[in-house]
Amino acid sequence: GAGVSQSPSNKVTEKGKDVELRCDPISGHTALYWYRQSLGQGLEFLIYFQGNSAPDKSGLPSDRFSAERTGGSVSTLTIQRTQQEDSAVYLCASSLEGDRAAYEQYFGPGTRLTVT
Amino acid sequence: GESVGLHLPTLSVQEGDNSIINCAYSNSASDYFIWYKQESGKGPQFIIDIRSNMDKRQGQRVTVLLNKTVKHLSLQIAATQPGDSAVYFCAERVSWGKLQFGAGTQVVVTP
């Protein structure tokens, strides 16, 4: 079946503009995660959703970052007033319910964000 | 703060040899440790996990070892193939739904 999809694949924006990144999880996956990966670095946890609620938002870097999930499916990560340090690849992952599912996550290809 | 890190940023391995990728962790409360593989331009892909009450777990051509005494995790890949060239990340589950990743090791397989 289809994997996790993300759009756009690449986004170039000017400093100060707002951007929206979209994630479509695997059908039936109730958990959804957002990560940020800077060049040559590991993944930085941002937020995860269980259904439409976000039990853990601890990784969001600042109040310029927000995320929502509607209908237990699609999620949008919004970055307001983008800064150059926001440039990174934003990865989305999804998983089933259950203990094991919390770490066996299926990742999308990511959105590469460049802030000029 | 507590973190997961890797000893070697790049590992060059000859095709057919075994690879060993190492990882140090510091969060004693993590209940699962996981290895992910990331090929260029793609998202990470789950390889194998090990629960904190285990020392060793084997998969297809891969073995994960956990040494809680020295807080060390390793991934062994048997008979490394060109398709194994990728960045490998160790991760620990610090709470439900939250994984903490290490910086990654680039594995380069040479003919």
pLDDT at B47: 95
When the pLDDT of each residue in chain A is averaged and rounded to a whole number, the result is 93
Asked if the model's pLDDT at residue A27 lies above 90, the reply is yes
Instruction: Tell me, yes or no, if A107 comes closer than 8 A to chain B by beta carbon.
Output: yes
pLDDT < 50 stretches in chain B: 1-3, 5-8
Interface of A with B in 1-20 (CB under 8 A): 4
Concatenated DSSP letters of chain A: ----EEE-SEEEE-TT--EEEEEEPPTT--EEEEEEE-TT--EEEEEEEETTEEEE-TT--STTEEEEE-TTS-EEEEE-S--GGG-EEEEEEEE-SSTGGGTS-EE---EEEEE-
Higher confidence at residue A40 or residue B41? B41
Instruction: Tell me, yes or no, if B53 comes closer than 8 A to chain A by beta carbon.
Output: no
Instruction: Out of A45, A50, A104, name the one closest to residue B46 (CB).
Output: A104
Q: Count residue pairs from A and B with Cβ separation < 8 A.
A: 62
Higher confidence at residue A103 or residue A28? A28
Say what percent of chain A tops pLDDT 70.
99
